[in-house]
């Protein structure tokens, strides 16, 4: 192919997973419990359980999808070999905090947990794959919630920083790219998995105070981790991670535009701190209106200022719409945040609207605002797949989705946006975070397991497997 690539030569193509959605082996190797371990599947009321963790912790459900999941814990060699066959340059994964510190506050780390990730990173290295590691992907140890109240408690900063110190020292030389918190803005919507917050009825009334205080602790923890990373290895690159997706105004009515601006700021708030190094000026009024009084200790603001991230990573599935018109109520599903329906867009089987140009817009917005390299660490289509009699899976719908998004990502790069890489979400089928389903599949690799945990866990290649291999081989030129 003679056509010129829109992507830089060393562009990091790959795929992404998270420990809590793929490892399984939920008590093996002395691992402690994390939020997903107490969440049922959709039939058991997963969403309600996420929003009412007190009840979730007291209830004995029939089935917990994460307990076995796709058993990456025992299949990592086979899985990484398949990623290598596709030509992955990078593999985004997360370390489960509770494998390293089962209670979160243990004095010494758990060697079995550390060894497991040694093996995973060695396997990546063997195949020339650069790991991109999320330090906390929705899995603050349950013990830290029960004993300390989760991230509302400042002590969590010390436990997190200790955990970072251990993994930074242990995996120096094996891992270069780190993300401090997955989708940090998610804690405003699902505080249980985002910040280990279990709120009682009284606290519910005061939820904003607790959420933003927890956010402050995570932001300080993220900066302290960055500080430590700089001390441990000059090779390390530290990124923040935002659940992104531009919010459009429903119309050109200034009221709608104002509403959309504020919806976007809700997420930017976090990256403003992590990337620019200070609380944005609009937060003063926001805190006043929400009656929030942040407890900020001496030195916090200096740390935030001094240790900002090297790059801005984000997930993108869809754009959103905001309207000031109370009559405009027709909504649709989305990645946790509810949004109004955009009449110009089609949607996935789960109602997530499909907007490839929205990715280009989001990238341009983020780059204009922060002027730091971007990394798209999640993007993809959750869809039902059908296995044909001969075992093949023709997932053209997934190829179409990814093709259009990759095309727009290339356009954004040509617009002048610096982007280091792209990892599709759920490169191998895994348990859905939102619904706990297996049937909401994102992978290039099919895993024989259903919503009730039945199946052989056998891996097989979908049509998109060969397609993505060509995309990587041609550095994004061959998207046919
Ligand atoms: C992101 C999360 O919010 O979206 C992932 O970082 C999650 O953990 C992904 O799996 C897709 O969401 P879902 O609900 O389809 O699994």
The residue among 382, 390, 374 whose CA lies nearest residue 317 is: 382
Q: Is 90 in the pocket of ligand 1 (CB under 6 A)?
A: no
| Mean pLDDT, residues 18-46 taken together | 96
Residue 296 DSSP one-character state: -
Mutate to test the pocket of ligand 1, among 425, 431, 441, 451 (most ligand atoms within 8 A of CB): 425
- Centre of ligand 1 to C-alpha 355, Å, is 17
- Centre of ligand 1 to C-alpha 195, Å, is 16
What pTM, to 2 d.p., does this model score? 0.97
**Would you name the residues annotated as active-site residues?**
183, 378
> What totals of helices (H) and strands (E) does the chain contain, helices first?
18, 16
Q: What DSSP string runs through 413-459?
A: HHTT--EEEEEEETSB----TTT--SSSB--SEEE---TTS-S---E
- Centre of ligand 1 to C-alpha 166, Å, is 27
Q: Is 425 in the pocket of ligand 1 (CB under 6 A)?
A: yes
Q: 410-434 in b/e burial notation, b at 16+ Cβ within 10 A?
A: bbbbeeebebbbbbbbbbbbbbbbb
3-class secondary-structure state, position 375: strand
Confidence of residue 2 (pLDDT cuts 50, 70, 90): low
Residue located nearest, by CA, to atom 2 of ligand 1: 433
Confidence of residue 475 (pLDDT cuts 50, 70, 90): very high
* pLDDT tens-digit series, residues 347-382: 999 999 999 999 999 999 999 999 999 999 999 999
* pLDDT tens-digit series, residues 243-266: 999 999 999 999 999 999 999 999
The residue among 331, 313, 349, 288 whose CA lies nearest residue 222 is: 313
Q: Is 434 in the pocket of ligand 1 (CB under 6 A)?
A: yes
- The Cα–Cα gap between 461 and 444 comes to 6
Q: Is 18 in the pocket of ligand 1 (CB under 6 A)?
A: yes
Confidence of residue 1 (pLDDT cuts 50, 70, 90): low
Q: Is 189 in the pocket of ligand 1 (CB under 6 A)?
A: no
pLDDT at 461 over 90: yes
- The Cα–Cα gap between 5 and 3 comes to 6
- The Cα–Cα gap between 178 and 176 comes to 7
Model pLDDT, residue 3:
87
- The Cα–Cα gap between 174 and 151 comes to 29
Tokens representing residue 171 in the block: 């995996």
Residue 169, burial from CB neighbour count under 10 angstroms (0-12, 13-18, 19+)? exposed
């Amino acid at each position: 192919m003679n056509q010129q690539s829109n992507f830089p030569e060393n562009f990091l193509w790959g795929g992404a997973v998270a420990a809590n959605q793929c490892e399984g082996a939920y008590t093996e190797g002395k691992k402690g419990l994390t939020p997903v371990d107490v969440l049922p599947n959709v039939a058991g009321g997963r969403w309600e359980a996420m929003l009412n963790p007190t009840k979730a912790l007291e209830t004995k459900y029939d089935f917990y999808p994460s307990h076995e999941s796709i058993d990456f814990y025992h299949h990592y060699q086979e899985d990484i070999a398949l990623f290598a066959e596709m030509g992955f340059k990078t593999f985004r994964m997360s370390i489960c905090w509770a494998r390293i510190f089962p209670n979160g506050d243990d004095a010494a780390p758990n060697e079995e947990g550390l060894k497991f990730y040694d093996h995973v990173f060695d396997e990546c290295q063997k195949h020339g794959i650069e790991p991109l590691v999320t330090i906390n992907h929705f899995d603050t140890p349950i013990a830290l919630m029960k004993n300390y109240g989760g991230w509302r408690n400042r002590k969590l900063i010390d436990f997190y920083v200790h955990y970072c110190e251990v993994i930074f020292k242990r995996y120096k030389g094996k891992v270069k790219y780190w993300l401090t918190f997955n989708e940090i803005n998610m804690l405003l919507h699902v505080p249980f998995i985002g910040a280990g917050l279990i709120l009682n009825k009284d606290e519910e009334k005061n939820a904003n105070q607790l959420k933003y205080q927890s956010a402050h602790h995570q932001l300080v923890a993220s900066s302290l981790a960055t500080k430590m990373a700089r001390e441990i290895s000059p090779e390390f690159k530290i990124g923040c991670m935002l659940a992104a997706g531009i919010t459009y105004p429903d119309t050109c009515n200034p009221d709608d535009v104002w509403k959309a601006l504020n919806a976007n700021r809700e997420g930017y708030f976090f990256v403003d701190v992590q990337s620019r190094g200070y609380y944005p000026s609009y937060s003063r009024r926001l805190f006043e209106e929400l009656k929030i009084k942040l407890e900020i200790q001496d030195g916090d603001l200096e740390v935030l200022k001094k240790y900002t991230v090297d790059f801005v990573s984000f997930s993108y599935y869809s754009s959103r719409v905001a309207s000031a018109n109370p009559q405009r109520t027709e909504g649709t599903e989305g990645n946790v945040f509810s949004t109004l329906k955009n009449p110009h867009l089609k949607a996935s089987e789960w109602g997530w609207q499909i907007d490839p140009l929205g990715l280009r817009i989001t990238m341009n917005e983020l780059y204009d605002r922060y002027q730091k390299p971007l990394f798209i660490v999640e993007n993809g289509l959750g869809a039902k797949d059908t296995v044909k009699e001969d075992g093949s899976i023709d997932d053209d719908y997934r190829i179409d989705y990814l093709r259009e998004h990759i095309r727009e990502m290339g356009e954004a790069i040509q617009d002048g946006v610096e982007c280091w890489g792209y990892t599709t979400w759920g490169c191998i089928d895994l348990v859905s975070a939102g619904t706990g389903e297996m049937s909401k599949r994102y992978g290039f690799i099919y895993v024989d397991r259903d919503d009730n945990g039945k199946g052989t866990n056998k891996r097989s290649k979908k049509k998109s497997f060969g397609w993505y291999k060509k995309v990587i081989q041609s550095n994004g030129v061959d998207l046919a």
